[in-house]
Amino acid sequence: MNAETNSGDRGPLRAQPGGIDEFDAAWQATVGSIAAARRQPGDGGAEAVGVTVLTGFLGSGKTTVLRRLLTEPAGLRIAAVVNDIGPVNIDAAALEGLHVASRTPDRVELTNGCACCALVDDLAETLEGLAGAQTSDAIVVEASGVADPATLALAVEGAAGCTLDGVVAVVDAQQLASQLSDPRVGPAVRRQIDVAHLVVLSKVDLAGGDEAAGLTDQLSLLAPGRMVVPAAHGRIDPRLLLGAALRGATFPSDAGEHPFEVATAVVTPARPWEAAEVARWFESSPPGLMRAKGWFPSSDGGCHEVQAVGRSWRIVPAASTHDPAIVLICSSQETVDGAAASLQQLG
């Protein structure tokens, strides 16, 4: 199989989205003050660390945005807190592929001063520990795909030593139209957009230029007063991503009133799989499979990563070896049990 297999890929845009030069001088003046505004005096004269909540529906590209931010932090020391769905934290494990200086079971230290850790029990407790260490200029919380960002934002505001820098919603340029028209998924996606101070339109490199422009206009109507930033390959200027609350929009306070429930299962391959065999499975995956991600051992002795959003999927050789596990996320327990049993038969 080729290095990358992806159903429905289209050519990249020629533009360079996500750069600060695309926005007018007024925005440039605003983002220029972010570094100073993000750290504010707290109780007893201590400095509060700014926390950004990174939200977005399943498969929107949040982890890609976070990975890019951690590898290109513009000189900032950034700590990331990753909250994933299911018993295996695939997103946190994926970030461990970055160049690291040291690693503990719950924390990865990067050589550029950034860090990543999995959410441990209580979010406020995790944030207070990071803030108390005084080793980070900013903290980013990557929410799970179905978490209510308003609930997380309120938890940030209640954490000692922390201040809410903003809520950033990542939306998938390939999936947004179908998601908004889905009566079950649409309200959750709209909620994430409505709560956000800043909206990132991801995967524009896989969408046509006219399509991306039309989606940007649509998002501007869904989120009036918010900046909509197009992003290819997850690249966003950190000065735009951090400090989103300074954009002036506010989020609703009715946290927890918009639950979205999904069912998950973990498939552990019993033997190495052929990448082509896995690809055929995803080509005809069961209806109701919303998201799949993880790693499987390949017959050539290597390890492959799989990422799927609905019927759009990608299989590539993994940058490093991971414990084999594929997390399936579906709309119901019956659906995920059937999908897991079907996929397990490959092994």
- If asked whether residues 146 and 205 sit together in one domain, one would say yes
Q: Do 284 and 224 share a structural domain?
A: no
pLDDT (0 to 100) of residue 259: 55
Give pLDDT, residue 98: 58
Q: Is the CB of residue 336 less than 8 Å from the CB of residue 292?
A: no
**Which residue, of 247, 281, 305, is where some domain finishes?**
247
Residue 3 belongs to a domain: no
Query: Could you tell me which residues come within 8 angstroms of residue 149 by beta carbon, excluding any fewer than 6 positions away?
Result: 53, 55, 143, 167, 169, 191, 192, 195, 196, 251
The residue from 216, 247, 278 where one domain ends is 247
| Residue 4 within any structural domain of the chain | no
The answer to whether 93 touches 322, Cβ cutoff 8 Å, is: yes
| Parent domain of 331 | 263-344
| Residue where a domain terminates, one of 247, 280, 305 | 247
Co-location of 96 and 161 in the same domain:
yes
253 part of a folded domain: no
What pLDDT tens digit does each residue of the chain (347 aa) get? 333 444 333 333 233 444 444 444 433 433 333 433 444 434 444 589 999 999 999 888 888 898 889 888 889 999 888 876 544 454 555 555 555 556 665 666 666 777 777 665 578 888 998 899 888 999 999 888 878 888 888 888 888 999 999 999 999 988 898 889 888 888 889 888 988 988 999 988 887 667 878 888 888 888 887 888 888 888 888 888 888 877 545 555 454 445 567 788 888 888 888 888 888 888 888 778 887 888 888 888 888 888 887 777 888 888 777 788 888 878 788 888 888 888 888 86
Based on the domain organization, do 142 and 55 belong to the same domain? yes
- pLDDT for residue 116: 72
pLDDT (0 to 100) of residue 254: 53
Together in a domain, 240 and 268: no
**Are 73 and 21 found together in one domain?**
yes
pLDDT given for residue 110 in this prediction: 67
Instruction: List the one residue out of 276, 275, 273, 311 whose CA is nearest residue 292.
Output: 311
- Indicate yes or no: pTM above 0.75: no
Listed residue (168, 192, 166, 170) closest to 246, CA to CA: 166
Residues 86 and 147 in one domain: yes
Q: For residue 22, what is the domain's CATH number?
A: 3.40.50.300
Backbone angles phi, psi at 14, to 5 degrees: -85, -25
Q: Are residues 145 and 61 in the same domain?
A: yes
Q: Rounded to an integer, what distance in angstroms lies between the CA atom of residue 220 and that of residue 202?
A: 15
Identify whether residues 242 and 268 lie together within a single domain: no
Say how far apart CA 302 and CA 318 lie, in whole Å. 8
Q: Are residues 240 and 275 in the same domain?
A: no
How far apart are alpha carbons 148 and 225 in whole angstroms?
A: 21
What is residue 4's predicted lDDT score, i.e. its pLDDT? Answer: 41
Query: What is the structure's pLDDT at 140?
Result: 92
For residue 334, what pLDDT is reported? 87
Look up residue 75 and give its DSSP letter.
T
Same domain membership, residue 177 and residue 34: yes
Tell me what pLDDT residue 292 has. 83
CATH of the domain at 314: 3.30.1220.10
> Is there a domain that residue 2 lies in?
no
Rounded distance between C-alpha atoms, residue 90 and residue 217, angstroms: 33
What's the domain count of the chain?
A: 2
50 and 88 belong to one structural domain: yes
- Give a yes or no: residue 256 inside a domain: no
What is d(CA 15, CA 3) in angstroms, rounded to the nearest whole number?
A: 25
CA dist 274 → 8, 129, 248, 299, 327 (Å)? 21, 43, 51, 6, 18
Question: Per the domain annotation, does 257 fall within a domain?
Answer: no
